[in-house]
């Protein structure tokens, strides 16, 4: 490992060869490659077309083109699997379901802020077994597969295994969050402010990035009060395979509760209690 490199990069191909979810991971990485090609080409484009959806959130032509490209590949490679996407339709699970956010951070994307990513998760039964978060403008990709670990890198052939932090006290913790508006609407804003006032550090990295920083041990906790399944599905296996914990704000595991708390696990109960 270079003295100038924080993380060691090496091949994990042999170690993951026997994992039953490896083929799905490799396909998901291909989907992310196709997404990156579209999103990077349209980022900052003068002719980017942006509309406002009924929920008052923006959607661009890049969002729709990216999800369409992912769906086209899945139609060939996994024709029997269901798909739950942000822009082009949401199906109930048929046992296996791909959960897609073509551009997480669209408000950043349309304003030229380079913090956005494509999120792709694979659900089998009630479990999230593969997750890929690809943020090409940050030159970073995170991925995980069940019982196989969490990583940063383009794929298993050259990756860095990541782990959550070991910070065990709230007063020593760093937390990331999004805006305060949703917390106000939930009625928990005063509790959140009291909690973060007791912490070492608060920063608003926002969206997917907060959770990926938890997974790689750079941040100790992240939370948001209002999320959809496509915002979270890809994040769950990455956080949990990195040794962390991912629940809703009532402590129920997984991405099913419409909100999220991710942590290194050591801080989780204390944060839940405070909120």
Q: Which residues does 216 contact at the CB level (< 8 Å), separation at least 6?
A: 7, 142, 152, 162, 163, 242
The answer on whether 63 is annotated among ligand-binding residues is no
CA pair distance 92, 168, nearest whole angstrom: 39
CA pair distance 183, 80, nearest whole angstrom: 39
| HEC sequence for the chain | CCCCCCCCCECCHHHHCCCCCHHHHHHHHHHHHHHHHHHHHHCCCCCCCEEECCCCCEEEHHHHHHHHHHHHHHHHHCCCCEEEECCCEECCCCCEEEEEEEEECHHHHHHCCCCCEEEEEEEECCEEEEEEEEEHHHCEEEEEECCCEEEEEEECCEEEECCCCCCCCHHHCEEEECCCHHHHHHCCHHHHHHHHHCCCEEECCCHHHHHHHHHCCCCCEEEECCCCHHHHCCHHHHHHHCCCEEECCCCCECCCCCCEEEECCCCHHHHHHHC
The answer on whether 171 is annotated among ligand-binding residues is no
Q: Which two tokens stand for residue 156?
A: 């298993």
The answer on whether 87 is annotated among ligand-binding residues is no
The answer on whether 103 is annotated among ligand-binding residues is yes
The answer on whether 104 is annotated among ligand-binding residues is yes
Give the residue ranges of the annotated binding site. 86, 101, 103-104, 231
Give the residue ranges of the annotated binding site for Mg(2+). 86, 101, 103-104, 231
């Amino acid at each position: 490992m270079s003295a100038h490199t924080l993380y060691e990069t090496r091949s994990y191909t042999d170690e993951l060869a026997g994992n039953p979810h490896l083929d799905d991971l490799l396909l998901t990485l291909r989907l992310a490659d196709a997404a990156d090609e579209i999103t990077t080409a349209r980022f900052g484009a003068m002719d980017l077309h942006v509309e406002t959806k009924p929920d008052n959130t923006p959607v661009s032509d890049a969002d729709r083109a990216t999800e369409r490209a992912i769906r086209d590949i899945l139609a060939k490679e996994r024709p029997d699997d269901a798909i739950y996407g942000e822009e082009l339709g949401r199906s109930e699970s048929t046992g296996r379901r791909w959960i897609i956010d073509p551009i997480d951070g669209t408000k950043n994307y349309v304003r030229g802020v380079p913090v956005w990513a494509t999120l792709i998760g694979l659900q089998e039964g009630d479990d999230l077994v593969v997750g890929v978060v690809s943020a090409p403008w940050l030159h970073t990709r995170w991925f995980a597969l069940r019982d196989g670990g969490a990583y940063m890198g383009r794929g298993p052939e050259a990756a860095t295994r990541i782990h959550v932090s070991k910070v065990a006290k709230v007063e020593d913790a760093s937390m990331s969050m999004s805006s305060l508006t949703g917390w106000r609407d939930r009625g928990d804003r005063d509790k959140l402010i009291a909690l973060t006032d007791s912490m070492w550090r608060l920063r608003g990295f926002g969206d997917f990035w907060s959770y990926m920083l938890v997974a790689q041990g750079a941040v100790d906790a992240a939370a948001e009060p209002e999320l959809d399944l496509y915002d979270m599905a890809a994040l769950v296996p990455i956080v949990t395979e990195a040794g962390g914990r991912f629940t809703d704000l009532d402590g129920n595991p997984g991405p099913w509760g419409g909100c999220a708390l991710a942590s290194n696990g050591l801080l989780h109960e204390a944060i839940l209690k405070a909120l």
